[in-house]
A and B are shown apart, each in its own frame.
Chain A
Amino acid sequence: MSQTSHISIRNVHKIFESGGQEVHALKAINLEIPQGQFVCLLGPSGCGKSTLLNAVAGFSLPTTGVITVEGAVITEPGPDRGMVFQEYALFPWMTVEQNVAFGLQIKGVEKAAIEAKVAELLAMLNLTDFRKRFPKDLSGGMRQRVAIARVLALDSPIMLMDEPFGALDALTRRNLQDELLRIWTELQKTILFVTHSIEEALYLADRTVVMTYRPGTVKCDIPVELPRPRDVASPAFNALKKDLSQLLMEEQSRHNQAEFRGAAVD
């Protein structure tokens, strides 16, 4: 099993302490993700999809259970699992090229090699003309390109993406989704992508994992076998979208009920 799996998540539980109460955020999660697969984690807010991503990233380890990457148990964050955040998280005091170069400098790559790699990545993401700009002078879409370039610079086999396009307008979003697919095809990365958009999951993923609202478990694990490039208007796409909406709405209503109960207690 572990020979074919790139990321292996086995019987992972995560329990938080919140206001004196224990919150079971993740319960008995099992996922085997092969090398080069594009996996979307889909679910309503509070379903623990970001918690699971953070556990893979090593920011917040599971309470019980193990996550392994190429057989090695994850104990801390590392550059083998580059993460792209929804809020971009670019360093505002660094220019575009300094942001992209930072990971390479940490690795101790020599200067000429850094310059070459940065130039290549900036060209790949159409950022060359903006290399001397500071993040504050860039649009949201541009910032997220920089954040992607910063992670790609690490040459990490795995990319973790936490609702990376959630704050972008629809056109920029589609544009970046296409670029991500292009990069993924070219560089053969394993991608774990969190989203709450059904359409985004179906447009991007090889496989969509739908999660339940508290405790977060795997509700269903659906392969998306539509040929690429995918047509969001095709009947097959919409049939899948309808099925997934149904599944997601069940969890959303559990979420709503829980919120109403919470309000009643307050």
Chain B
Amino acid sequence: MKRYRHAASGVLVPLAAIGFWQLLSSMGWVNATILPSPMAVLVKWWAYLRPLEVFDPAQGSYLQWCFSGELIHDAMGSLYRVLVGFVIGAGLALPLGLTMGYSKVAYALFNPLVQVLRPIPPIAYIPLSILWFGLGNPPAVFLISIGAFFPVLMNTVTGVQNVDSIYLRVGRNLGASRLTQFTRIILPAATPYIFTGARIGMGTAFIVVIVSEMIAVNNGLGYRILEAREYLWSDKIIAGMFTIGLLGLGIDTLMSRLSSHLLKWHRGLEQG
């Protein structure tokens, strides 16, 4: 019961905001090109989502047809870049982070460089990424992997460095080899940090994908909202923005579900 009341109160503010926005439009207080009405956005959103062609069985299955709309293509394109970029960035950050956290020598060697590179926003790599990779997916994926790399790296290093030394003492007492200590004690003990890093990294990847699509490619949600601006389709811009928001929320929810499932042993994640 309480849950429903919470959910109900959660829609109050968004509904009020939409109501106010509709009022602004209906009363003609704002120019529709600058801020279209919520209804107009919704209509455009549907048009953006819906398949462009009439259903034709010769072209493929019904399901395929359902997903042939422009918005679905854009969302898939963006998602693909996010995932590839994230896998590359996190995939490189994880082993480096584990090494830097475990070995003081590796930390001393790599940390200065990491500290210099880390504050550079991925967006600052845009000129180089185009010089190096031209246009298309490669520069976009490159930028996204940089965005995902540093959060995963920093959290992995911290996670390994903060493993409670008592666990390592127990490990030595039980006769664990260094390898066993690493795989069975250090790695699981560091996972809460690593997952936090992955979640932040995924968030950064999602921000970077939109920016990278505005410069290097000709599909994806970021490209689409920039394209819509050229035609002054503000309703489509807003529809695209909400799509980005919902997709980001979906990914983050998925990441957090996954980590609470995998970390059900963890004290910090006790929830009713």
A contact set with B: CB distance below 8 Å: 57, 59, 76-79, 81-83, 85, 87, 89, 91-95, 102-103, 106-107, 134-136, 150, 154
Please state if B270 and A136 are interface contacts (CB–CB under 8 Å). Answer: yes
- Chain B 246-272 near chain A by CB (<8 Å), digits 1 or 0: 000000000000000000111100100
- A102-B184, A106-B180, A136-B267 as given contacts; A91 in contact with B174, CB under 8 Å: no
Q: Which of B166, B174, B264, B270 interacts with A79 by CB under 8 Å?
A: B174
**Given the complex of chains A and B, what is the CA–CA distance between A81 and B265 in angstroms?**
28
* Chain B residues, CB < 8 A from A85: 166, 169-170
CB pair A136–B265 under 8 Å, yes or no, is yes
What distance in Å separates the Cβ of B260 from its nearest Cβ neighbour in chain A?
13
Kindly list chain A residues whose C-beta atoms are within 8 Å of the C-beta of B173. Answer: 57, 59, 77-79, 81-83
Does B167 sit at the interface, judged by CB under 8 A? yes
- Whether A91 lies near B188 (C-beta < 8 A) is yes
Q: Are A92 and B175 in contact (CB under 8 A)?
A: no
Interface residues of B (CB under 8 A from A): 166-167, 169-170, 172-177, 180, 184-185, 188-189, 191, 264-267, 270
User: Which B-chain residue is minimally distant from A79 (CB atoms)?
Assistant: B175
Q: List residues of chain A with CB within 8 A of the CB of B167.
A: 89, 91
Instruction: State the CA gap A77–B176 with chains docked (Å).
Output: 10
Most B Cβ at <10 Å: residue of A59, A78, A91: A91
8 residue pairs, one from A and one from B, having the closest CB atoms: A79-B175, A93-B188, A134-B265, A77-B172, A103-B174, A89-B166, A93-B265, A136-B267
| Besides the known contacts A91-B185, A136-B267, 8 further A-B residue pairs in the complex with CB atoms under 8 A apart | A77-B169, A77-B173, A78-B173, A93-B188, A93-B189, A93-B265, A103-B174, A134-B264
Residues from chain B with Cβ under 8 Å of A91 in the complex: 167, 170, 185, 188-189
A134 surroundings in chain B (CB, below 8 A) = 264-265
CB distance from A201 to the nearest CB of B (A): 23
Give chain B nearest CB distance to A1 CB in angstroms. Answer: 27
Residues from chain B with a CB closer than 8 A to the CB of A77 are 169, 172-173, 175
Q: Are B265 and A92 in contact (CB under 8 A)?
A: yes
Q: Distance (Å) between the CB of B39 and the closest chain A CB? A: 51
Q: What is the predominant secondary structure among interface residues of chain B facing chain A?
A: helix
Q: Which residues of A contact B270 (CB under 8 A)?
A: 136
CB B41 to nearest CB in A, in angstroms, measures 47
Asked if B266 contacts A92 (CB within 8 A), the reply is: yes
Kindly provide the distance from the CB of B265 to the nearest chain A CB, expressed in whole angstroms.
Answer: 4
What is the bound-complex CA distance between A17 and B169, given in angstroms? 21
B270 CB, min distance to chain A CBs, angstroms: 7
A102 near B265 with CB under 8 A, answer: no
Which residues of chain A have C-beta atoms less than 8 A from B177's C-beta?
A: 106
Nearest CB of B to A105, in Å: 8
Whether B267 and A92, one on each chain, are in contact in the complex, defined by CB atoms closer than 8 angstroms, is yes
Q: How far is the CA of A135 from the CA of B170 in the complex (A)?
A: 15
Complex: chain A residue closest to B267, CB-CB: A136
- The interface residues of chain B lying within 8 Å CB-to-CB of A154 are 174-175
Residue in chain A with minimal CB distance to B166: A89
Q: Which residues of chain A are within 8 angstroms of B191 by Cβ–Cβ distance?
A: 93
Given contacts A91-B185, A92-B265, A93-B265, contact A59 B174 (CB under 8 A): no
Q: Are B175 and A107 in contact (CB under 8 A)?
A: yes
When chains A and B are docked, how far (Å) is the Cα of A106 from the Cα of B208? 45
Q: Which residue of chain B lies nearest to A77 when distances are taken between CB atoms in the complex?
A: B172
Q: What are some 28 contacts across the A-B interface (CB < 8 A)?
A: A57-B173, A59-B173, A79-B173, A79-B175, A81-B173, A83-B170, A85-B166, A85-B169, A85-B170, A87-B166, A89-B166, A89-B169, A91-B185, A91-B188, A92-B266, A93-B265, A102-B184, A103-B174, A106-B174, A106-B175, A106-B176, A106-B177, A106-B180, A134-B265, A136-B266, A136-B267, A154-B174, A154-B175
